[in-house]
């Protein structure tokens, strides 16, 4: 079974069980999800920028940005058709597509990926996705991962050495920020095309 089919099978089962709920996305709770979103907003200026949300789930980042009075040109993509249908129903003014990143034309000011490396993907999947996502941005890429320093680990989730991932990202740009100051088992990396200023 292809990785994309295996992932969809897993999340389709969760979606059927929990519906429009963060548990369908395997977020522990809404607070956990919001905490990660807040790190993005604290570190990147989204205002009036074009934004590509990779693995958008139910479009929760779009809703979070709106609550923060951030106005941007948002596109959410996800490999799961059911998630996209739910997103379109919830947020009809936003744009959502059932696509992989290579199917998306053009470039965006900001590319975001929250949670896509955690569950049911190969531990080296990030080495394929990071350069593909960075290629799509004109300004910044940001993504989060679970930290392998976590004391409590779940078998089905991937945990990463933040310094190894940082070293990998430095191959593509010298302008990289690593944040691990918001949640003990999580870190976020920001990659910029040039200066962060």
Domains of the chain plus CATH, in order, are 3-192 (3.40.50.150)
Per-residue pLDDT at 31: 77
Per-residue pLDDT at 172: 96
Task: Give yes or no for residue 1 having a pLDDT over 60.
Answer: no
Other residues' Cβ atoms within 10 Å of the Cβ of residue 123: 10
Per-residue pLDDT at 184: 83
Q: Which residue has the higher pLDDT, 90 or 194?
A: 90
H/E stretch holding 66: helix 60-67
- What share of the chain has pLDDT > 90, as a percent? 69
N- to C-terminal Cα distance for the chain? Answer: 45
The dihedrals phi and psi of 155, each to the nearest 5 degrees, come to -60, -35
Label residue 34 by pLDDT band (50, 70, 90).
confident
- The phi-psi region of residue 26 (left if phi > 0; otherwise alpha if psi is between -120 and 50; otherwise beta) is left
Per-chain mean pLDDT for the chain: 90
pLDDT tens, residue by residue, 45-102 = 999 999 999 999 999 999 999 999 999 999 999 999 999 999 999 999 999 999 999 9
H/E stretch holding 139: strand 137-146
Cβ contacts of residue 7 below 8 Å, gap of 6+? 79, 80, 120, 121
Per-residue pLDDT at 195: 62
């Amino acid at each position: 079974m292809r990785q994309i089919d295996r992932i969809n099978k897993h999340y389709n089962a969760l979606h059927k069980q929990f519906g429009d709920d963060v548990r369908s996305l395997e977020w522990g709770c809404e607070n956990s999800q919001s905490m990660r979103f807040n790190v993005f907003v604290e570190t990147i200026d989204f205002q009036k920028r074009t934004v590509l949300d990779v693995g958008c789930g139910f479009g929760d980042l779009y809703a979070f940005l709106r609550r923060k009075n951030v106005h941007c040109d948002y596109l959410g993509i996800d490999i799961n058709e059911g998630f996209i249908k739910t997103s379109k129903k919830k947020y009809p003014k936003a744009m959502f597509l059932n696509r992989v990143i290579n199917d998306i034309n053009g470039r965006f000011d900001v590319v975001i990926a929250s949670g896509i490396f955690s569950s049911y993907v190969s531990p080296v999947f990030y080495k394929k996705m990071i350069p593909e996502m960075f290629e799509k941005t004109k300004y910044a890429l940001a993504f989060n991962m679970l930290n392998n320093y976590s004391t409590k680990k779940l078998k089905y989730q991937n945990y990463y050495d933040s310094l190894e991932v940082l070293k990998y990202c430095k191959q593509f740009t010298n302008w990289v920020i690593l944040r691990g100051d918001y949640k003990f088992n999580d870190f976020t990396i920001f990659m910029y095309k040039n200066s962060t200023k």
